[in-house]
Amino acid sequence: MSLDRLNKEQRKAATQIEGPILILAGAGSGKTSTMTERIAYMIENGVSKYNILAVTFTNKAAKEMRERVETLVGDIEGMWITTFHSMCLRMLKKDPTKVGFDKNFLIYDTTDQKTLVKGILKDKQMSEKEFPVRGILSTISHCKENILSPQRYLAENEDNYRNRLIAEVYKEYEKRLKSNNAMDFDDLLLNGWRLLDQNSDVLEEYRRRFRYVMVDEYQDTNYLQYLIVKLLAEEHQNICVVGDDDQCIYQWRGADITNILDFEKDFPSAKVIKLQQNYRSVGNILAGAHSVIENNRQRKRKKLWTDKEDGDKIRYYRAESERDEARYVAQEIENLHVGRGIPWSNFAVLYRTNAQSRVFERYLMDRGIPYRILSGMRYYDRKELKDLIAYMRLIINHKDDISLKRVINEPKRGIGPKSLANLEHIASSMGMSMMEALLNGVGMSAFKGKTLVAVQKFTEFIRLLSGEQENLTVSQIYDELLVRTGYVNMLESEGTVEAEGRLENLMEFKTEIADYEKETSESGEASELGDFMEKLALMAEVDNHDESQDAIVLMTMHSSKGLEFPVVFLPGLEDGIFPGSRAMEDTAKMEEERRLCYVAMTRAKQRLFLLSAAVRTQYGRTDYTRESQFLRELDPRLVEGDAIYRQVRTQNSIDVSTGSRDGFSTDRPYKPFDMLKYAKEATKSNAKAQRGGNAFHKGDMVNHTKFGDGLVIDEDEKTLTVMFDSVGKKKLAKGIAHLRKQA
């Protein structure tokens, strides 16, 4: 095999097989090529495919790596190139009883988790308003990532009433998961670690097998993933991790930057190889990104370089307002598209928060410029798909109460909350799941009349398809469900545009199934519903980036990681927005924000535009802004356009202001105004004021937010009558009076 395609450092990384190795791979440095060539080199030098484990973070990355390795060495049967969650699932499917689960356990996604928590809150008579479901699930996820049981979490929060209640929800959540023979996504990692940590025979089996371990995007690993990797690699020490500490931007999702920073402490004999040649961006963009990131203290020193030309300087525009900012972006895109023939798809606008997209959409629409927003919304989160997936899960596992509750009355079968509660009570008293109670016949007593007939029909086709699933393809099962449930008839009879769109989604899902069946057929495997559902459950957030679509991409900076575009715009570079106001008071948060800035800048291949607004209206409030700290950290020699304010000291020590209109110095202590916090507080205050109508009485001089000054001339139990100077007499409901007394 020739390694001529690799540079000197890449070749060094690819040919270093034995012992621990840390590959620090900067943005655009060709890490995927290096990793695949390394695997190929190992195989050609006598390492068995069976002994190699390569772990990535996304299914897309794993698929790409498998395809590249197959191109280099041919068949890779026996090699594990997989994600952390898929790896743990594979291990758990082999030995589920060793962690207390039965065969055919389910994987609950976010929607299932929410349903479960909502049910617990209802049973415990806890308000969702006071205990938001998302917040509880976030706490549970954090606990699991840090191996914190409900009991330990409770013990650590004995003095906190609210957290004690959350601990009780967490405890019940775990109990119900277990009773449904189900795990959530965090459980896949947690139970995967338990399987290895608490079963020496299992650990020894996988250590014997995986003598060589490789981990991609190591900077994004959390504590559990770190423990799993350490367990597997500890004996043979043949571990290769690839990552870039400068691109660790997911600490809010559990990523622990210390895993990559402390790798040499965990493996003292580790060799460190730095991939610093960038193949993506021109020189000025790389130099600009480096001038920002080098201000981080918690990082491994490195500097990207390229043999490409310097290219255009980074362009900076200090807009008058957010509208002027959006106008400038739309105009520049149009000019470059028309004047230089650059396709629309070559442009990307990357912003810190989703709320920033609104004004850009408006200006792009006004100019007729095609655009699309890359969102985190999963195709599989659409209601009609969730319903059919729940049906398929119920066919596989009759213990799945959550799926049953979702579909037993979808399409409508006349089943009300009372009947469903009766069924749940009967099932619980018999020690069964709700579906098992129906199949057994004892659950039918919960229903009467036409509803009973409908439930009997529902039960029988679930029984039929469950019994026949081994004799049917996934496509056949899906078609049977569409017809037997009445789902297609329901949408057709509705006759609306929305219903037609939902039908299209259901039909498109048939393509997903067909692709799966094609893959299994080519690999010689059987098409099985259970296997299909596992693959479906493990799908990451859908990658909406379709390079074939000629449209500008609008997306968050976080979503842009791993992508690249010839021309990139970064708006909103103001203290308080980017970096956010909270980061200004926290060094660790500021460093993560700076890493995010570095990631965003290095998405650009040829041209990079940076923007800020002197005045910005956000959450209904208009304020003057200060240019972002990251702008002030940029090497001024790399920037053209508007000047960035910097403080210059003369020989006489007289401060001289240079640059743009904001008039702030670089080193002046500064805490930006927290617009979001203000907005929330203002909202609460306004709401309180709305309820203040009872404080006003006949004869009071008042001021109204819309009508101005007036006099209360009458009142009753529910209303105030006010004579306003501007509009005359108005009757106002006390609950929404929006009044304040005049002095």
Secondary structure class of 144 (helix, strand, coil)? helix
Active-site residue flag, 412? no
Q: Tell me whether residue 201 is one of the annotated catalytic residues.
A: no
Token pair of 39 as six digits: 């695997």
Three-state SS annotation for 627-681? ECHHHHHCCHHHEEECCCCEEEECCCCCEEEECCCCCCCCCCCCCCCCHHHHHHH
First to last CA, the chain: 88
Element (H, E) at 537: helix 529-537
Q: One of 9, 145, 216, 332 is an active-site residue; which one? A: 216
Alpha helices (H) in 247-356, listed in sequence order = 258-261, 263-266, 283-293, 322-340
Indicate if 67 belongs to the active site. no
Task: Say which of 352, 386, 399, 603 is annotated catalytic.
Answer: 603
Buried b (16+ CB within 10 A) or exposed e, 134-164: eebbebbbebbbeebebeebbeeeeeeeebe
The separation between CA 637 and the C-alpha centre of its own chain, rounded to angstroms, equals 36
Give every CB contact of residue 326 below 8 A, 6+ residues apart in sequence: 359, 360, 362, 363, 571
| Integer Cα distance of 82 and 69 in angstroms | 13
Q: Which pair of structure tokens corresponds to residue 187?
A: 């459980």
Task: Give CA–CA dist 574/686, Å, rounded.
Answer: 28
Q: Would you list the DSSP string of 169-211?
A: HHHHHHHHHHHTTEEEHHHHHHHHHHHHHS-HHHHHHHHHH-S
Cα separation, 62 vs 68, in Å, equals: 10
Residue in 36, 247, 556, 625 annotated catalytic: 247
Query: For the chain, what is the radius of gyration of the CA atoms?
Result: 30
User: Which of 217, 387, 424, 512 does the annotation list as catalytic?
Assistant: 217
- CA separation for the pair 739, 709 (Å, rounded): 9
Q: Specify the 3-state DSSP secondary structure of 26.
A: coil
- Residue 200: CB atoms within 10 A of its CB come to 9
Cα 510 to Cα 212, 381, 524: the distances in Å are 39, 16, 21
Residues pairing with 214 in the sheet: 54, 240
Catalytic residue among 9, 11, 31, 574: 31
Distance between CA atoms of 221 and 232, rounded to whole angstroms? 15
Token pair of 189 as six digits: 């990692």
Instruction: Give the closest residue to 172 by CA, choosing from 189, 190, 151.
Output: 151
Is the separation of the CB atoms in 244 and 25 below 8 Å? yes
Report helix, strand or coil for 53: strand
Q: Where are the alpha helices (DSSP H) in 124-180?
A: 133-145, 150-156, 161-179
Q: Which of 15, 16, 32, 721 is catalytic?
A: 32
Report the C-alpha dihedral over residues 410, 133, 545, 62, rounded to 10 degrees: -100
Q: For 411-486, where are the alpha helices, taking DSSP H only?
A: 417-429, 434-440, 449-468, 474-484
603 is catalytic: yes
- Provide the annotated active-site residues: 31-32, 216-217, 247, 603
